[in-house]
């Protein structure tokens, strides 16, 4: 492809900024990144409170976040943040140690069985499900793999046929059942459901295992975590500063027309002409949002195939509160509440984080899910009050809410559409209308997967 083509990138989050970086590395410098907000970073949002940054979105990474490490090297930064740890409480606010046999004598048989099943899952993922951990979802529904391996930092392209991969279309709880590893859900639920990615009876196993591949999940289990002193947003602020063409903030796209081999983008009332466009912003939002965010199909001259496919996308309602506490009520550590990660406890507090251990003049952040595809969606205000009530139950009552966020989170499709080849149909459209689709839904909702998909997109098509 001509290195001088004009490329428009929609979105200044990890996917959009990474697309700019990887394009630069390949010699494409005639690109523009348009971001509708007044900041970069997307769901990596790290505001400041009392002189320190806290997290409203992404919190941490792990050593297998290879694309994030690419950004660190590109910018000359590193993961220099506070060391995180956690403990556990039950829904009544009592501290528990669910994985410590000496503290759970009656549960020793279950814990031993779970340990064996975790080992078994690791083995079958490497053998029976070879190819499960390539970035993206291309070919899974057809029983094949085709992408960049995430086994190590080299991320070499691999491809092959493996009919067993079709099992990844099943909900994760069903995937675990047919493989006799049901108890592994006790481990995977911590860094999955509590991080807002839905429940194991509704989400295809492919999403769970491509994000929490075995080595990534074990890093979470062992608390082998990366953080950044100035927050996860700092990674993307630094990348934006190091790009030859930083994102243009406060850019409202009113219309996109694709005709005669050109892409006409009306941004802030002015028409700009490009040759190609990469969409890393949401492709479809099935309801009107209070923040005014729209899906691509609403402002593009969306074709019928785009509308038909993208209308299958749903997303999670995942809410974050940043709260102050009185010093005597400040938690000594972060806590997970596993009992609240079940769909019958929808809307309740699942996890709350204490980021800075050396002071009590900082906020704690709380996280709750309020949607399951088969149940009533909990209204925002009702969920908010449930979380504040739960903090009282946890013996860490909030004295004040200083920030709150209900973000468009984890766009995905459900098992039927996944198995019907949704991803292969979208991948077949890449470049069809001088348009390329990237961002969360094409890989997964964490910052590394979205950045890695942008790398793969650039390698495949540019």
Please, what CATH class does the domain formed by 108-221 belong to? Answer: mainly alpha
pLDDT of the residue at 153: 87
Q: What average pLDDT does this structure show over 30-41?
A: 98
User: Is pLDDT of 151 > 90?
Assistant: no
What tokens were used for 335? 């806590």
Of the listed ranges 23-27, 67-71, 108-112, 332-336, the one predicted with least confidence: 108-112
Banded pLDDT at 150 (limits 50, 70, 90): confident
How many Å apart are CA 96 and CA 119, to the nearest integer?
24
Q: Considering only CA atoms, which of 224, 199, 210, 126 is closest in space to residue 449?
A: 210
The answer, yes or no, to whether residue 40 has pLDDT greater than 80, is yes
How would residue 287 be classed by pLDDT, with cut points 50, 70 and 90?
A: confident
Q: What confidence score (pLDDT) does residue 311 get?
A: 97
pLDDT of residue 103: 77
pLDDT in tens, 292-327: 899 999 999 999 999 999 999 999 999 999 999 999
H helix or E strand, kind and range, residue 368: strand 364-369
Residue-wise pLDDT tens digits, 347-379: 999 999 999 999 999 999 999 999 999 999 999
84: its two tokens: 């995180």
Tell me the mean pLDDT in the region 15-33. 98
Domain ranges of the chain: 7-46+66-71+229-313+413-461, 108-221
Number of Cβ within a 10 Å radius of residue 257: 13
Look up tokens 């860094």; give the residue. Answer: 191
* Residue 4: pLDDT band with limits 50, 70, 90: very high
Give the class (CATH, top level) of 7-46+66-71+229-313+413-461: alpha beta
Q: What is the pLDDT of residue 107?
A: 84
Dihedral sign of CA atoms 67, 71, 76, 77 in order? negative
Average pLDDT, the chain: 96
pLDDT digits (tens, 9 = 90+) for 414-434: 999 999 999 999 999 999 999
Read off the pLDDT of residues 46-66 as tens digits, 9 standing for 90 and up. Answer: 999 999 999 999 999 999 999
| pLDDT tens track for 75-122 | 999 999 999 999 999 999 999 998 888 777 878 899 999 999 999 999
d(CA 206, CA 449): 13
């Amino acid at each position: 492809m001509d290195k001088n083509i004009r490329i428009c990138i929609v979105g200044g989050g990890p996917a959009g900024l990474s697309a700019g970086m990887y394009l630069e590395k390949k010699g494409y410098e005639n690109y523009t990144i348009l971001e509708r907000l007044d900041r970069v970073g997307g769901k990596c949002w790290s505001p400041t409170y009392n002189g320190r940054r806290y997290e409203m979105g992404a919190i941490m990474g792990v050593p297998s976040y290879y694309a994030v490490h690419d950004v660190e090297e590109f910018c000359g930064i590193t993961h220099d943040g506070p060391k995180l740890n956690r403990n556990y409480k039950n829904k009544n606010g009592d501290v528990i140690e669910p994985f410590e046999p000496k503290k759970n004598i009656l549960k020793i048989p279950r814990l031993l069985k779970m340990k064996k099943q975790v080992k078994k899952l690791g083995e079958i993922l490497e053998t029976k499900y070879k190819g499960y951990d390539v970035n993206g979802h291309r070919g899974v529904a057809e029983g094949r793999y085709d992408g960049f391996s995430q086994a190590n930092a080299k991320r070499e392209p691999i491809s092959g046929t493996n009919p067993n991969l079709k099992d990844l279309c099943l909900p994760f709880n069903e995937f675990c059942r047919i493989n006799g590893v049901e108890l592994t859900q006790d481990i995977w639920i911590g860094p999955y459901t509590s991080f807002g990615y839905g429940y194991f009876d509704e989400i295809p196993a492919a999403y769970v295992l491509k994000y929490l591949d075995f080595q990534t999940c074990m890093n979470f289990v062992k608390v082998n975590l990366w953080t950044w002193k100035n927050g996860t947003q700092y990674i993307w602020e630094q990348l934006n500063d190091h790009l030859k063409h930083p994102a243009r903030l406060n850019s409202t796209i009113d219309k996109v027309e694709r005709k005669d081999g050109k892409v006409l983008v009306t941004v802030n009332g002015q028409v700009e002409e490009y040759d190609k466009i990469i969409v890393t912003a949401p492709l479809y939002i099935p309801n009107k949002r209070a923040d005014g965010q729209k899906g691509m199909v609403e402002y593009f001259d969306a074709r019928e195939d785009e509308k038909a496919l993208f209308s299958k996308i749903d997303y999670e309602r995942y809410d974050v509160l940043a709260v102050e506490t009185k010093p005597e009520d400040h938690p000594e550590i972060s806590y997970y509440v596993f009992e609240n990660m079940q769909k019958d406890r929808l809307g309740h507090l699942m996890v709350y984080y204490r980021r800075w251990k050396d002071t009590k003049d900082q906020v704690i952040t709380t996280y709750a899910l309020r949607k399951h595809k088969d149940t009533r969606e909990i209204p925002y205000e009702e969920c908010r009050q449930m979380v504040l009530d739960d903090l009282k139950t946890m013996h860490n009552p909030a004295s004040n809410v200083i920030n709150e966020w209900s973000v468009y989170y984890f766009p995905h499709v459900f098992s039927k559409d996944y198995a019907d080849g949704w991803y292969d149909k979208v991948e077949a459209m890449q470049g069809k209308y001088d348009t390329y689709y990237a961002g969360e839904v094409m890989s997964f909702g964490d910052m590394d997967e979205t950045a890695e998909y942008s790398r793969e997109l650039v390698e495949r098509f540019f």
